[in-house]
Copies of this chain bind each other. A is one copy, B any other.
Amino acid sequence: MEYYSAKIGALIDELARLPGIGTKSAQRMAFHIVGLPETQVKHLADVLVDARKNVKYCKCCCTLTDADICPICDNPKRDHKTIMVVETTRDLAAYEKTGKYDGVYHVLHGAISPMLGIGPNDIRLKELMVRLADVDEVIVATNPSLEGEATAMYISKLIKPSGIKVTRIASGVPVGGDLECIDEVTLLRALEGRTEL
């Protein structure tokens, strides 16, 4: 990239390594950044380093947080007898945005994937097992992908013997979705999971 400054080139390269950012977006961001006031760029850089430095895993549910115990686990108003198991903190955030779930969570930070060499010991399963003493229900909300389903099956086999209820979130046609555009597997899932009106 002879035609940019080497510094801008380096910035574009760094930005393009972020997930979901291609060279075009990285370029757009980089030129935006070099046009910002210097203090603002410094602030962005500080926030980056600060976030990384201060983020740790909640000692209870393993979500990313800056306290020892995250605000959800620390909230006595939440139903601590219901644990929703999710793959990532982003998935937790997605369910929190609905505002309708008042149980707690457990973040696995991944899913079992023999293809990628990720086994049960590589995700936060042990941490889940030690939380089950006083739990009524474990809702498995891993993604409806191959890995997510495998993880759900594994968790169910692991927990069911202890008599705790293990449930799986429903798979089906998304609300507002167009049947015509939806893959066959989802359509079949929706059919299998049909409920009486």
Contacts and interface: CB of A to CB of B under 8 A. Distances in A.
Q: How many copies of the polypeptide does the oligomer hold? A: 2
A54 interface: yes
Contact of A20 (B25, B63, B64): B25
Given A42-B49, A45-B46, A55 B3 contact: no
A87 to B, nearest CB: 11
B64 A3 contact: no
25 contacts: A1-B93, A2-B72, A4-B65, A4-B89, A5-B54, A5-B55, A5-B64, A8-B51, A8-B66, A10-B47, A10-B50, A11-B48, A14-B48, A18-B29, A19-B29, A21-B29, A31-B64, A31-B88, A31-B89, A31-B90, A33-B52, A34-B52, A41-B52, A45-B48, A48-B48
